[in-house]
Amino acid sequence: MEQHIKTWTSVIILSAALYSGFAGAHGKVSLETDSCIRNISGSMIHLSTYQPQHDPEAEYCTEIPQEGETLWVLDLVDQALRDMPIGIKIVRGSGKALSETVASIYSTNHSDGVIKGHFNLSEGQYTLFVTGEGIPPLHYEYPLRIQMTNYTESFIRIAPYIITFLLIAFITDKLLKRRQLRH
């Protein structure tokens, strides 16, 4: 019986360790590795999106889980960008399949380095273009996916449970075979 308790304790500890290794959030990464940062010639911008009506504490970047009202904040990290006019445009589609412009904003007053807005988008793919009207002009691009399943992220989320199940099945099989050999 003591052997079984040690085995199950080991399985639980191992599965907890595997699960915590996969956990991560947008807000806990460094500026250099943040996927919401765009850097052109040393000029950096950062995009954050929020849907407080669904999850008041969640911050998203380009994978927005629900369609509907979405707040966005564009941080102009570089001081040079704060002194130039900035154009922002959201277009339906991505890559070569761009179609209609859904929303646009032109900002000349953003000395604090922040441009905010909101959009109401339905399910699908969009592209958010940010243009800094300097010399030379700077062009940034964010692909947006609204309420679309990210299968890689879903697999990473469930992988610890699959591994735990397989480990439990393997250990149970070994214990049952050992028990049959004794009888």
**pLDDT tens profile 167-176:** 898 898 888 8
Tell me the whole-structure pTM to 2 decimals: 0.64
> CA 162 to CA 169: how far, in whole Å?
11
43 strand-pairing partners: 40
Does the pLDDT value for residue 117 go beyond 70? Answer: yes
H or E element, residue 127: strand 124-132
72 phi and psi angles, rounded to 5 deg: -130, 150
> CA 2 to CA 41: how far, in whole Å?
63
Pairing of strands 86-92, 124-132: antiparallel
Tokens of 33: 């590795």
Nearest to 85 by CA among 42, 132, 137, 45: 132
CATH superfamily membership of 31-148 = Macroglobulin (MG2) domain (2.60.40.1930)
Does the pLDDT value for residue 76 go beyond 60? Answer: yes
Other beta carbons less than 10 A from residue 110's beta carbon = 18
Name the more confident of 50 and 21: 50
What band does 3 get if pLDDT is binned at 50, 70 and 90? Answer: low
Instruction: For 12-62, give the DSSP string.
Output: HHHHHHHHHHH---GGGS-TTT-TTEEEETTEEEEEEEE-TTT-TT--BSS
Write down the pLDDT at residue 21: 40
Write down the pLDDT at residue 172: 87
Percent of the chain with pLDDT over 70: 79
> CA 138 to CA 82: how far, in whole Å?
13
- Nearest-10 Cα torsion for 179, 180, 181, 183: 90
> CA 9 to CA 37: how far, in whole Å?
42
CB 159 within 8 A of CB 183: no
**pLDDT tens profile 61-75:** 888 888 889 999 999
Write down the pLDDT at residue 23: 34
Domain ranges of the chain: 1-25+149-183, 31-148
> CA 67 to CA 92: how far, in whole Å?
14
